[in-house]
Structure 1
Amino acid sequence: MGVEVHWWNKKPGERAQWALDPLVGVGPLRFGMNSDEVASAMDGAIAHVSQGLGSGKGWGSYTDWGVTGIYGADSGLVAVAIDAMDGPLVRLRDIELIARVPSEVCADIQDLAHREGTPVRVNWSGDPEVEAWGVSMGATQELGLSSEGYLQRQDTMITHALLVGSELAEDPYGSEPVAYWWDVSDEQLNPGTWPVRAEEDRPRWDWTPLQSIGPLRFGMNPQQVSSALDEQPAARLGRYSFGRPWENPGEWILSHDRFDKAGVTAHYACGPGGPPTLGAVTVDGLTGPQVEFEGIRLIGMSVQAVDASLMQRLEESGMGITFACGGDLGSPGLNMYVRANRAGDTVVSGARFCRAEWEDHG
């Protein structure tokens, strides 16, 4: 899911104030509306990004409002996603749900649910979900503008929400209409805790740009990667290749292996008819090994601080600066990108290290 940034022209008081009517609607929107009715209810809003809109199951992102409408098989509205940075400020009873510290919203939801005798569970991202209200909370990294006026990642998380009608309330993210918009089936389930390994407990890995990271050399096959780490993958994800219309889906192609003990994910490239080979390694900011670049510690640190130090070093060296699809800071000459890993209400830095031919897509 791409990041849309339309908030910089909005003053704090300009965000719409919406009330949630659980399982019925939110603000001027009611579940069951078609896309034309949704657009009309938001003063003629335009879905600048959409898929399958008006043709059955689909979704439309009304970026000027910070709202995404998700539609079911009959093109009726079944879910509304509220963006953390520029979406309406949604209130449930006496709780403000959007753009707040996640743990504070969680505590408020637990308190209200206790008073109303309503169960609260933890969703895939480790955030509260309440079936009786059709609410599934989430959080995203906060963005800001630097003193020079450019986009800057913060070290804080703020809340967003998926709000659904009664037909999806039992499993909001497990429903097909929602999965067309955001498929979380391959995401690592979070129990609601984000333990961060202490700096002194992290092994140190050397990095040779475009060639190797720690014991891993780009070009290794999956067996060699597992052997080098002395660990079997905790999760293995891939896809089926697409054949001609009259053929079967084709062979299963390995995409990446996740190694939880080492705190890294191995990403593989696979050409037509060729075996998978190591093309990139993502070091997790919470649990991965420490890696340095010219004295800058890249892993488990403040994302703002790493971004600032790395940008200064890259500008001084003339190596060039680039940003990956998700906003990760990197350098085309290094093919390395600083990533942000959630640690509860905050984020810590991770990184993805790639071989020269690897095109990073977030």
Structure 2
Amino acid sequence: MTAVYGPGPLLVAVAVDALSGPQVRVGDVGLIARVPSQARADIHDLARRVGVSVRVNWSGDPEVAAWGLSMGAAQDWRLSPDGYAERGDAMITDALLVGPAPAEDPYAATPVIRWHDVRDVETNSGTWPVTLDRDRPRWDWTALERVGPLRFGMTTHQVAAALHGEVPTNRRGWHQWSQHGAGQWYSSEERFDKAGVSAHYWYPDGVPALAAVTVHGRTGPQVEWDGIPLIGRKVSEVGAEVIRHIEEHGLGRLVHCDGGPGPEELNMSVRATRAGDTVVSGARFFAPDWENH
């Protein structure tokens, strides 16, 4: 569990982990480490029985102000045949529990924002449509150089032009203020929902340059590595195929910060994207010397 404190310090919220947290119940409904859709159905059923309302929170999961409850989900992990922890293909539930004051909007409470700020995170309406493979465009990948029409080193304007002028759905970055109050915006990430990709930038020469491309698992284009489709598949299957290919070709193997494997020399990692109760594979491709965070 994670305890979140406000001034005092006084306990404001408790976040219960999906993988290692205790089982928590509201009424007769278990909340933790469950299939999200099943937990959601049970929460709605109990809420109807006791006469409280249920809404959808930022992650597409149930939230009940009367109970100070905001549900979430995390990818399940399992032990491999060799005894190592590895990512599974399922999502399991976690929960944020708060007191009366922040219950109307738990993730907007200042202490919670300091613990986990979701204001710039992609929101979900509670549905997770996955584009069929036959409906995905095909992008080529040249390691360390480009992904589809996006070449590492492009400016933000060049990226938008390469994506047929698509306007980013969301931007992340920071302002740098001068002593006169004027500020300059530095973009670190732009999400393009129509294309199904995110562009990540760095500033080696003081101007934004494309450093990495994340292809979203649910909606992004299909990208292959030596005949291995990387996008929109079971994460466990893609991971196993990538690891086998790495070993067969004598490449270095890295496990990135989100648990995804990738070939060390080619700057690619397999990522996982939630699709309701399951996860599907995405991928990140990045330039030389860029740290894959």
Distance (whole Å) between structure 1 residues aligned to residue 204 and residue 153 of structure 2: 12
Of 236, 241, 245, the match for 2:176: 241
1:296 equivalent among 207, 225, 228: 228
**Counterpart AA for 1:188:** E
Specify the alignment match of 1:265 in structure 2. 198
Q: Give the aligned partner of residue 213 of structure 2.
A: 281
Which residue does the alignment assign to 1:173? 107
Q: CA offsets per residue over residues 127-160 of structure 1, 9 Å max, x none? A: 0000000000000000001010111110000000
Which gives a bigger RCO, structure 1 or 2 (Cα 8 Å, sep 6+)?
A: 2
Q: What's the TM-score once normalised by structure 2's chain length?
A: 0.97
Aligned-CA RMSD value: 1.3
- 1:192 aligned to 107, 126, 129, which one? 126
Structure 1: 5+ residue stretches without partners = 1-66
Cα offset, 1:249, TM superposition: 8.4
Aligned to 1:351: 283
Residue 184 (structure 2) aligned to one of 251, 255, 263? 251
2-structure distance, mates of 1:330, 1:174: 36
Q: Name the CA shift for 1:249/1:127 in 2 (closer, same or farther; >3 Å).
A: farther
Equivalent position SS for 1:333: helix
Q: Check the 8 A contact 1:240/1:249 in 2, yes or no.
A: no
In 2, Cα distance between equivalents of 1:198 and 1:118: 38
Percentage identity across aligned positions?
A: 57
Q: Partners of 1:249 and 1:94 in 2: how far apart?
A: 56
Shifted more, 287-296 versus 230-239: the winner is: 230-239
Q: Give the superposition deviation at 1:271.
A: 3.8
Q: Letter of the aligned partner of 1:280 in structure 2?
A: A
Shift, 1:248, TM fit:
5.1
Q: How many residues align?
A: 292
- Please state whether the residue corresponding to 1:104 is helix, strand or coil: helix
Letter in 1 for 2:271: R
Q: Is the 8 A contact 1:82 1:162 kept in 2?
A: yes
- List alignment gaps of at least 5 residues for structure 2: none
Q: Do the aligned residues in 1 keep the contact of 2:86 with 2:259 (CA within 8 Å)?
A: no
- Equivalent AA in structure 2 for residue 236 of structure 1: R
TM-score by length of 1: 0.79
C-alpha contact (below 8 Å) 2:239/2:260 kept by paired residues: no
CA distance in structure 2 between the partners assigned to 1:216 and 1:121 by the alignment: 39
In structure 2, what residue type is equivalent to 1:111? Answer: D
- Aligned equivalents of 2:194 and 2:249: distance in 1? 35
State how far apart, in whole Å, the 1-side matches of 2:242 and 2:127 are: 29
Indicate conservation of the 8 Å contact 2:36/2:277, yes or no.
Answer: yes
